Amino acid sequence: MPTTQAQDSRRPRILICDAISEPVVNMLAAHAEVDQKTNLTHDELLKIIPNYDAMIVRGITKVTADVIKHGLNLKAIARSGAGLEHIDLVAAQKQEIIVVDSPDANAVAVAEHTMGLLLSLARRLPRADFSMKAGRWDKNILVGTGLQGKTLGIVGFGRIGRQVAIRARAFGMKIIVNQVPITPELLLEEVDLADLVDLLQMSDFVTLHVPLRKETHNMIGAEQLAMMKQTAFLINTARGGVLDEDALLAAIKEDRIAGAALDVYVREPDINQELVKHERVIATPHIAASTEDANQAAAISVVEQLIEIFEEIGVDTILPLRVVPMDKVVPHEHIDQKRVNRLANRLQQDGRLSNPPVVMETDDGRYMVLDGATRTAAFRQLGYPHGVVQLASPEEGLGLHTWFHVIQQIDVKQLFALMNGLSNIKLEQVEAEKADDLMFEYAGLCYIHFADGRVFLVHAKPGVNRLDALNQLTAAYIEAAHVDRTLNDNVISLKLEYPEMAAVVFFPEYTVAQVMQSTLSSGRYFPAGITRFIIPGRILRLNIDTEMLQSDKPLWEKNRWLHHLLLEKQGKGGIRFYAEPVFLLDE
């Protein structure tokens, strides 16, 4: 049943699509906001999945590429049980979504069911039960076969195959195994290894325990069935697609094998009725893993994994730092490519990142760079799949200052001619004391106060985007002259401070919301060196090794690495907070 928790922005939202036990739901609800909505149609799932950080499924709900595409906030998909064929793993990997399951949880249950089917085949138990219920005493014709000394061929020696072997040995059976690839651990097992042909020819019972993949699809077909003994039995509790059902039915009808026991089918629940109704076939409705113990263990396993994932992703419990995909990091201003090249070379040589860029997370899951555009551009230039960033938000006191540009080392007349000749802007001469008010009243891009006293309001020409016009203006004078940034708006003082000043460009005081809206909605960037974000609690001297960031390890693993690194620094007293303002002098 649905469990409702008070809304908390720091708690992940998790959708349970296929029912799990109420105690496990309550266990998860202690750490997350949980909704249990079962029997959703595909369209219903697409509609609500953007609201969730994770989802839990069993073997019913299919997590297609379309579902993953709509899961804008999905960070994890959990499969309660074993087998991930209902989840599009390629699509999940592209979106860097963690996929977890619980393959160990139902291994014993499936192995026990396999042994139950094996015993039922050997001793003809279903037919014996049916004859008794029909009022017959068929003792003389229901003669079975013993297991002591018989050979069991196990195809696939993973968790379930090993559990089957343990139980079969207790019956005195000889075990032979076909496993591809052969692992060092397998060589330590007390089993005989065989290729598939030899295993099929030697075994009295063959049981399948391989995952359904391209290479295992129909791996047991007419050719393989023809290799089995006429007295042999086949058991499949793996996946229906690993066995050619038509070939199996033909082999049983023609008495080329003794019989089969099936728990899985190519199409479920639309199964091959002729096959399952055959008197020498024992059929169960995909229940090998369905015990209360196994279901509970599987659900607990994936819930514990989800709790761990979200605890480790949430590194802001120590500092607001996170490892994020670089393709989701977007700048708000243009960059100086020369500075990017220099920093990229230094990062390659040093292999360390000192000060992380500062970003703000947007509603669509991207990260807009507030400070550190050069660093993020260097990361991309070096091919980093991920980068470490500091997260900031307006709620935490984020502010914004606007720089003014002091243009120097160019003749005033030459500078005016340069600006007046630009195609995207027009200059309107105004009185100096009215320039600020007019810029606000007429939404001017900026105004320019020349050293000779003339003042011009700058407008974008009709039909020209404002950011395009502003970028053309700043690019022109940055290329032609030397530019310094200042917060001083007193022209007299600036002339004394900059004797070679030709002009000062005064920009409007932008807000954080204006910068975000302009950049994200249009895809255009502000000119470099206009905005200066004021970030409380700026994190400096992180000094982390960039090797992990460059690696192909998954995002969640890198965040776990960062989390433990910060814990280690905290434990050594290596994180200090200074509340007072600081002046930094260039070395």
Catalytic residues: 239, 268, 286
CA–CA gap between residue 329 and residue 366 (Å, rounded)? 6
Which two tokens mark 495? 């002339």
Amino acid identity at 430: V
- Residue 99 sits at φ, ψ, to 5 deg, of -120, 125
- Specify the pairing of strand 98-101 against strand 367-371: unpaired
Are the C-beta atoms of 449 and 503 separated by less than 8 Å?
yes
Whether omega before 269 lies within 30 degrees of 0, making that bond cis, reads yes
What CA–CA distances, in Å, run from 539 to 4, 164, 321, 432? 37, 55, 9, 41
Contact predicate 382/348, CB 8 Å? yes
Sign of the dihedral through C-alpha 8, 12, 13, 19: negative
Report the C-alpha gap between 22 and 4 in whole angstroms: 13
Distances (CA, A) of 407 to 392, 411, 458, 501: 32, 10, 16, 6
493 three-state secondary structure? helix
Rg, Å, the chain Cα set: 35
Element containing residue 401 per DSSP (H, E): strand 399-402
Angle between helix axes 292-313 and 22-29 (nearest 10 degrees) is 10
| 328 DSSP 8-state letter | G
Query: Which pair of tokens denotes residue 293?
Result: 């113990």
Residue identified by tokens 């499949």 is 236
From CA 347, how far away is CA 140, in angstroms rounded?
Answer: 83
Please answer whether residues 238 and 213 qualify as being in contact, where contact means their C-beta atoms are separated by less than 8 angstroms. no
In total, the chain counts a number of residues equal to 587
Decide: residue 91, CB within 10 A, 0-12 exposed, 13-18 middle, 19+ buried: middle
DSSP assignment string, 391-437:
E--GGGT-EEEE-EEEEESS-HHHHHHHHHT-SSEEEEEE-GGGHHH
Give me the torsion for CA of 443, 449, 455, 459, rounded to 10°: -30
Would you call 81 exposed, middle or buried from its count of C-beta atoms within 10 A (0-12, 13-18, 19+)? buried
